Amino acid sequence: MIKDMFKKVINPSTAKEESEVNIPEGLWKKCNKCGQPIYTDDVKKNFYICPKCDGYFRIHAKRRIKMVTDLGSFKEWQDEPVIHNPLNFPGYEKKLEEVREKTGLSEAILIGKAAIEEHPVVIGVCDARFLMGSMGESVGEKITAAVERATKEGLPVILFACSGGARMQEGIISLMQMAKTSAALKRHSKAGLLYVSVLTDPTTGGVTASFAMLGDIILAEPGALIGFAGPRVIEQTIGQKLPEGFQRSEFLLEHGFIDRIVEREELREELGKILGLHEKKDYREILANSEENKKRFESPNRPSEMTPWEKVELSRKTDRPTACDYIYRIFDDFIELHGDRYFGDDGAVVGGIARFAGIPVTVIGQQKGRNTKDNIRCNFGMPSPEGYRKALRLMQEAEKFHRPVICFVDTPGAFCGIGAEERGQGEAIARNLYEMSDLKVPVLTVVIGEGGSGGALALAVSDEVWMLENAIYSILSPEGFASILWKDSKRAGEAAKVMKITAVDLLKLKVIEKIIKEETPANQSNIEGLSEKLKGDIREFLANYMNLEIEELLAHRYNRFRRM
């Protein structure tokens, strides 16, 4: 080998003792998630996220508060640190003292008042270094007292969960903290105040089964372990290996229990946005004083040259703008919220909060895809029961915070399948009709494409229903109609004609209030203009309906259907 043939040329006169290189202690740490060595400075600069695997490290309460609140705004609400040992558990008091000494914290939660992007808020953060952030009497008391004070002072509450659950050493008294904190939050909610729960790794046991899951909005950090029973306990009980990703944030999002997963570096901005959208203000002034109200667009009443069947085809075209196309153009600051809090998150229904001309609103739409991949996610715009339940959950939240609701309808119909029936498709639709009829905020529905049957009506028990010129709204699809009445689905064109499903027909039948004119059939190139037109009309709708007394509003909605 040539290696051995190269002659060495080291100069003996310059060759000194070999030097020692000292890598300072703590320059690197080993990531406990991917096992890679990581440069400590990088982790600190990167929100305590591993730069190699993007794994999230747990962070101390104080650091968390510094990360999400405005500089210097946090004032701790301190109480006298007391030691509760209701069971006289041996060694517990000594243990508590040791942990207090070690962490410099009086208990497993740090709580106080702060500002986030200039919005005042009561904030509490669990610290996992303190007996795994577990909830005993002191923690329960701190949370309860803070929530009560927030209720009194009319402040929103944000709690960061990072806890193993109820504290074992305090036994049944710990269990009672679950009820105590939940009860305080109920009173806070009844006062019309916002509670945002942020779930971080880990959120388990009695904390999950109480305050952590009760947020009006529940956020989670990526990859956090969230569950009631711990994974090890479940594995031992059922004797099965749990699947990858089980009980992680992403799993919970898929199963409808959290609204959003938020990256740590975006948390502060997102919380600020959410708080801003829940600010208590009288927004009617904005509309009353606005010159914009005078901008009006003509509704066409001209006879259409197209046959009803041609309109059916138009309403189903893949290049027709979808709900999201309108939502992102008409509204600002849209924050999508997910899940029905029972079973899943339905991609066929998109919903969330946003601003319209500065006014917070709730927006819900049935979403179709443009390609196969999108369509698998949103099931070709056919909602499942969890989609309707998500919509209802968001509407009820809108009611709590006095936000108008705007719905976009575009569905061939509610999904028909085994799972949908098992989970009560009919019940879900019925429940929406029932609750929407009495929703104490203005509700507007715009049919943008297909308005298929009960699946559409479940988002259309509204104060006004509008249709795009080439949209359709019917008892069922013309194909279905033809096959039921004439046993021949090929006669769909004929059915379309007799069913009276076009906007012009429905305006005549007084099923809808307004037609949004399409100069040319809606598509990606004219959507900007259409959205502008809708904006003007929505503004007028809000100006009219937000000024009604609740009784008047509800009576109007009741009569709208009563007369049909």
Residues that bind other proteins (CB under 8 A): 1-3, 6, 8-11, 13-24, 27-28, 37, 39, 41-42
Q: Which is nearer to other proteins, 13 or 520 (CB)?
A: 13
DSSP 508-526: HTTS-SEEE--SS---TTT
State in angstroms the smallest separation of the CB of 10 from other proteins.
Answer: 6
Q: Which is nearer to other proteins, 19 or 520 (CB)?
A: 19
Residue 492 structure tokens:
């769909």
Alpha carbon 312 to chain centroid, angstroms = 33
Q: Which is nearer to other proteins, 8 or 373 (CB)?
A: 8
State in angstroms the smallest separation of the CB of 377 from other proteins.
Answer: 24
User: What is the C-alpha separation between 284 and 242, in angstroms, rounded?
Assistant: 52
State in angstroms the smallest separation of the CB of 37 from other proteins.
Answer: 4
Residue with tokens 């003509």: 298
Alpha carbon 146 to chain centroid, angstroms = 25
Q: Among 370, 395, 246, 389, which Cα is nearest to 318's?
A: 370
Q: Which is nearer to other proteins, 17 or 80 (CB)?
A: 17
Angle formed by the axes of helices 527-545 and 323-330, nearest 10°: 70
State in angstroms the smallest separation of the CB of 57 from other proteins.
Answer: 18
Q: Which is nearer to other proteins, 4 or 101 (CB)?
A: 4
State in angstroms the smallest separation of the CB of 88 from other proteins.
Answer: 51
State in angstroms the smallest separation of the CB of 526 from other proteins.
Answer: 20
Given a contact cutoff of 8 angstroms between Cβ atoms, the answer to whether 343 and 360 are in contact is: no
State in angstroms the smallest separation of the CB of 239 from other proteins.
Answer: 39
H/E stretch holding 87 reads none
Residue 162 structure tokens:
């990072």
* b/e per residue 488-497 (b: at least 16 CB within 10 A): eeebbbbbbe
Q: Which is nearer to other proteins, 8 or 232 (CB)?
A: 8
Given a contact cutoff of 8 angstroms between Cβ atoms, the answer to whether 316 and 449 are in contact is: yes
Given a contact cutoff of 8 angstroms between Cβ atoms, the answer to whether 92 and 85 are in contact is: yes
Q: Which is nearer to other proteins, 39 or 251 (CB)?
A: 39
State in angstroms the smallest separation of the CB of 200 from other proteins.
Answer: 25
CA geometry: angle 516, 517, 518, nearest 5 deg: 120
Q: Which is nearer to other proteins, 45 or 510 (CB)?
A: 45
Q: How many CA within 13 A on the CB side of residue 102?
A: 13
Q: Among 244, 261, 243, which Cα is nearest to 252's?
A: 261
How buried is residue 398: exposed, middle or buried, by Cβ count under 10 Å (0-12/13-18/19+)? Answer: buried
Q: Which is nearer to other proteins, 8 or 487 (CB)?
A: 8
State in angstroms the smallest separation of the CB of 264 from other proteins.
Answer: 17
State in angstroms the smallest separation of the CB of 6 from other proteins.
Answer: 6
State in angstroms the smallest separation of the CB of 4 from other proteins.
Answer: 9
Q: How would you write 7-65 as a 3-class SS string?
A: CCCCCCCCCCCCCCCCCCCCCEEECCCCCCEEEHHHHHHCCCECCCCCCECCCCHHHHH
Q: Which is nearer to other proteins, 12 or 303 (CB)?
A: 12
Tell me the Ramachandran region of residue 154: left when phi exceeds 0, alpha when psi lies from -120 to 50, beta otherwise: left
Taking the alpha carbons at both ends of the chain, their separation in whole angstroms is 97
Q: Which is nearer to other proteins, 11 or 372 (CB)?
A: 11
State in angstroms the smallest separation of the CB of 34 from other proteins.
Answer: 13
Q: Which is nearer to other proteins, 18 or 549 (CB)?
A: 18
State the amino acid at position 22 in one-letter form: N
